[in-house]
């Protein structure tokens, strides 16, 4: 395997192998002593934000019926027939490991590095490569926005179409669209592993340890930084999905959720390669769309028993796409 492809591949492998072996905690919620998680996102007046916020089936039927009839007129018949059906479907509810992996991205390089796993021919004309990824038994699906006209959101202001993303693609950098798309996607694909990513700062790979806990002083919607797009720039109760509103209402004011990724294993696997700096961030992904998407991943992990691993990774804006992409 060539050098540029190894970073994401080894991280993903470490995650994959750990996921079904290490179910998530029964009670992953934690309380922080701080009134608000430290923001790690910086905004600029001149341009877009630099997100440094930062069947198997077996059915058995047996019939051991016997009939004995003698000349003396006595007749006995016994039927010890038993029937059992232990058939299961791998894609039905209750399967502890569905083998679907969903990865989500936002601004480059996170959208670019995920193209090979998209089933959308317009986003991935070379064809989907996610089936039984590297023989691990997992099918990988990716979802991300596009940023016309030039694919570079950094030369657009926050809220401009070039920074928010195309309406024709998934997961615009917008609270309402992210809320709607996220729940539709996870309900359809029911991932056993869910990785959300977004563009970060100077750190190559920043593995986020916790999400949520923000405190804007007024209400859940005001905990979040305005996205600048559309009529509603905050995730208000009337504008986002009910599960989103319930989640951001619960996990605020110091109440947080820990990552359900094997973060220590990912750190060890990626740092050993020496390709870029890799760190675990013990704060949060911030109170803009990165943290919003990251919190959604952990909310899904809470409600979906089959989901065994979920969490967020910031990918540095300066990391070349080829270094971030697994091939």
DSSP 30-48: EE-SSSSPPP--B--SSS-
Res. 12 pLDDT band, cuts 50 70 90: low
Q: Looking at residues 194-203, what average pLDDT do you find?
A: 91
pTM of the model: 0.74
- pLDDT score of 106: 92
Give me the half-sphere count of Cα atoms (radius 13 Å) on the Cβ side of residue 315. 27
Summarize pLDDT for 268-326 with one digit per residue, the tens.
Answer: 998 888 888 899 999 899 999 999 999 999 999 999 999 999 999 999 888 888 777 75
Summarize pLDDT for 40-80 with one digit per residue, the tens.
Answer: 333 333 333 334 343 333 333 434 343 434 333 334 343 43
Whether 137 and 205 have beta carbons less than 8 Å apart is answered as: no
Res. 8 pLDDT band, cuts 50 70 90: low
Position with higher pLDDT, 26 vs 188: 188
How far from 258 is each of 18, 58, 81, 211, 233, CA to CA, in Å?
17, 39, 52, 6, 27
Q: Which helix (H) or strand (E) holds 315?
A: strand 309-316
Summarize pLDDT for 75-120 with one digit per residue, the tens.
Answer: 434 343 434 343 334 343 444 445 999 999 999 998 988 998 998 9
- pLDDT score of 185: 98
> 3-state DSSP helix/strand/coil percent for the chain, to nearest 5?
25, 20, 55
Mean pLDDT is highest, among 19-23, 168-172, 296-300, for 296-300
Position with higher pLDDT, 1 vs 167: 167
- pLDDT score of 50: 39
Residue 10 pLDDT exceeds 80: no
The domain limits of the chain are: 3-48+94-290+315-324
The per-residue b/e assignment along 167-201, b for 16 or more CB within 10 angstroms, e otherwise, is eebbbbbbbbbbbbbbbebbeebbbbbbbbbbbbb
User: How far apart (Å, rounded) are the C-alpha atoms in residues 198 and 54?
Assistant: 11
Token output for 83: 């029937």
CATH topology of domain 3-48+94-290+315-324: Aminopeptidase (3.40.630)
Summarize pLDDT for 200-246 with one digit per residue, the tens.
Answer: 988 888 999 999 999 988 999 999 999 999 999 999 999 999 999 99
User: How far apart (Å, rounded) are the C-alpha atoms in residues 315 and 317?
Assistant: 6
The angle formed by the CA atoms of residues 159, 163 and 165, to the nearest 5 degrees, is 105
- pLDDT score of 71: 39
- pLDDT score of 273: 81
């Amino acid at each position: 395997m060539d050098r540029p492809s190894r970073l994401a591949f080894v991280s993903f492998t470490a995650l994959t192998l750990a996921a079904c072996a290490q179910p998530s905690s029964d009670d992953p919620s934690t309380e922080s002593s701080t009134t608000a998680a430290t923001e790690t996102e910086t905004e600029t007046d001149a341009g877009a934000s630099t997100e440094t916020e930062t069947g198997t089936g077996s059915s058995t039927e047996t019939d051991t019926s016997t009939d004995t009839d003698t000349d003396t007129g006595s007749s006995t018949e016994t039927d010890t027939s038993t029937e059992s059906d232990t058939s299961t479907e791998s894609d039905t509810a209750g399967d502890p490991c569905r083998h679907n992996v969903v990865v989500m991205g936002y601004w480059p390089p996170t959208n670019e590095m995920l193209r090979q796993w998209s089933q959308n021919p317009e986003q991935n004309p070379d064809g989907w490569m996610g089936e039984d990824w590297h023989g691990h038994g997992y099918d990988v699906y990716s979802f991300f926005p596009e940023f016309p006209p030039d694919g570079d959101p950094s030369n657009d202001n926050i809220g401009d179409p070039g920074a928010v993303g195309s309406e024709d693609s998934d997961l615009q950098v917008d609270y309402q669209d992210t809320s709607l798309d996220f729940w539709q996607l996870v309900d359809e694909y029911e991932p056993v592993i869910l990785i959300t990513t977004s563009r970060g700062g100077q750190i190559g790979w920043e593995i986020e340890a916790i999400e949520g806990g923000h405190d804007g002083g007024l209400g859940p919607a005001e905990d979040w930084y305005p996205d600048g797009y559309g009529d509603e720039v905050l995730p208000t109760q009337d504008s986002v999905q009910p599960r989103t509103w319930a989640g951001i209402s619960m996990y605020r004011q110091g109440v947080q959720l820990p990552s359900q990724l094997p973060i220590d294993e990912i750190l060890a696997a990626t740092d050993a390669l020496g390709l870029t700096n890799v760190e675990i961030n013990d704060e949060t992904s911030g109170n803009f769309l990165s943290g919003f998407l990251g919190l959604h991943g952990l909310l899904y992990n809470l409600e979906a028993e089959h989901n065994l691993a979920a969490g967020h990774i910031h990918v540095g804006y300066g990391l070349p796409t080829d270094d971030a992409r697994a091939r």
